[in-house]
Structure 1
């Protein structure tokens, strides 16, 4: 196998395999010896690739300057920017900032012609009546769902009654006018949906429900069927 082909296959393996990936696993994926993996990783590092890790632990590709500029069709660029525009219009402040950052990073990696197309995209998003996004509640719930931690909430129902609940946050759905949290409610011992604009207080706890979030979310989706 030519050395250039071997290095290309190694880069592909580093991009696609779960990290940290051992030299033995890389050798298996690229069909070379472990000794060749060590030499090729040294060669990639010398060429500018940032590869974290060491022998006996495993490796992770942090940055690959050899990646070509992003290439999209004109319609793909429109779809990407339209989606990010929707996030800017409909998300909370943190999501809006993240969308701006993503757009800037993607456009910076586009070839010159496509970067011009992105700068003059045809499709735009404007909302005259933006969706109400409770910034504080969404930030707490988003972080708690990522970290798989229970949240104590004070919730006001449709009749105006307040209840205190401990919930396991699974996902937040952006509907036409409101945001809904899907959660496992300890008070009701079942799946419940909570409108974020009716959450008066949301406080993350130290109680972890890791690694149950993915399984609970699958169970909830199954109940919809």
Structure 2
């Protein structure tokens, strides 16, 4: 986590509390030392955040402090709301769903009142639907992609034939009913797409991918004729 992200998370924690919260509690939630927390609080106070309190008593953020205004159009706000709702309803990854909701909450907190009302009144809804169930953790795959580490998977193809693969994952596609991880397969020595519902076991490996995920994604897009954005 970068320092900027940590400061934003600290602000969010304080915004969500109406009574003072102790330094040790804040430090534990952020996963930082108490000395780092005190420095971060001083930094935010120096930037204008009205944080009241002191070590040993607890801290509270007085109303009125916001980050520099985020000027979104009504269409942009609806796109953000729709995206976060889709992730929360259609992605089988609770951590990702919670992250989407929290991100929208952070954005909403710094919007002017009129635009904030637009978020609350957004009328673009995401219905539920049948998704082929999976037995593996999508969050494990996301972490492997982010850290560029290999995975070992137990996989069955469309005919039900089993195989063990060592793969270098670089992307996940969310289709209407199935989820697919794109990866370089060491067994096939080529790019392959693996449906998550056909993966029976999944293990993270300590080995780093020999190639960067951005390079593999660009190469795969070019080969498949998919325009990047």
Q: Is TM > 0.5 for Structure 1 vs Structure 2?
A: yes
1:139-154 → structure 2 map (5 Å cutoff): 139-154=139-154
Alpha-carbon distance between aligned partners in 1 of 2:75 and 2:195, rounded to the nearest angstrom? 35
For 2:163 and 2:115, how far apart are their aligned partners in 1? 53
Across the aligned residues of Structure 1 and Structure 2, the Cα RMSD in angstroms comes to 2.4
Would you identify which runs of 4 or more consecutive aligned residues in structure 1 move more than 2 Å?
44-47, 130-137
Deviation of the 1:45 alpha carbon: 8.7
C-alpha displacement of 1:66: 8.0
C-alpha change, 1:46 and 1:163, in structure 2 (3 Å) is closer
Task: Describe the SS at the equivalent of 1:187.
Answer: coil
- Aligned partners of 2:135 and 2:199 also within 8 Å: no
CA contact (8 A) 2:66 2:110 kept: no
The number of equivalent residue pairs is: 168
Task: Provide the C-alpha distance between the structure 2 equivalents of 1:186 and 1:219, rounded to a whole number of angstroms.
Answer: 16
Q: CA deviation at 1:175?
A: 1.0
Q: For residue 205 of structure 1, give the secondary structure of its aligned residue in structure 2.
A: strand
Q: Is the 8 A contact 1:149 1:210 kept in 2?
A: no
After TM superposition, the structure 1 = structure 2 runs for residues 89-108 of structure 1, keeping only pairs within 5 Å, are 89-91=89-91, 92-108=93-109
Unaligned runs of 5+ in 1: 1-14, 16-43, 51-64
Give the CA deviation at 1:135: 6.7
Task: Summarize the alignment of residues 39-118 of structure 1 with structure 2, pairs less than 5 Å apart.
Answer: 47-48=46-47, 67-91=67-91, 92-118=93-119
Please list the CA deviations of residues 63-91 of structure 1 after superposition, one character each: whole Å capped at 9, or x if unmatched: xx884222222222111101111111111
Residues 49, 220 of structure 1: alpha-carbon distance in 2 compared, 3 angstrom cutoff: farther
User: Counterpart of 2:193?
Assistant: 193
Q: Give 1:134 deviation, angstroms.
A: 3.2
So what's the TM-score if we normalise by structure 1? Answer: 0.68
1:182 and 2:182 matched? yes
Distance 1:116 1:196, change over 3 A: same
Q: Mind listing any 5+ residue stretches in structure 2 that lack a counterpart?
A: 5-42, 50-64
What is residue 29 of structure 1 aligned with on the other side?
none
**1:23-42 alignment runs, 5 A limit:** none
Distance 1:131 1:49, change over 3 A: farther
Alpha-carbon contact 1:89-1:130 (below 8 Å) kept: no
Partners of 1:190 and 1:118 in 2: how far apart? 44
Cα deviation, residue 46, structure 1: 8.5
Distance 1:191 1:146 in 2: 18
Q: Which SS does the other structure have where 1:180 is aligned?
A: strand
Q: CA deviation at 1:106?
A: 1.0
| CA distance in 1 between partners of 2:45 and 2:154 (Å) | 56
Q: Look up the match of 2:171.
A: 171
Partner SS, residue 136 of structure 1: coil
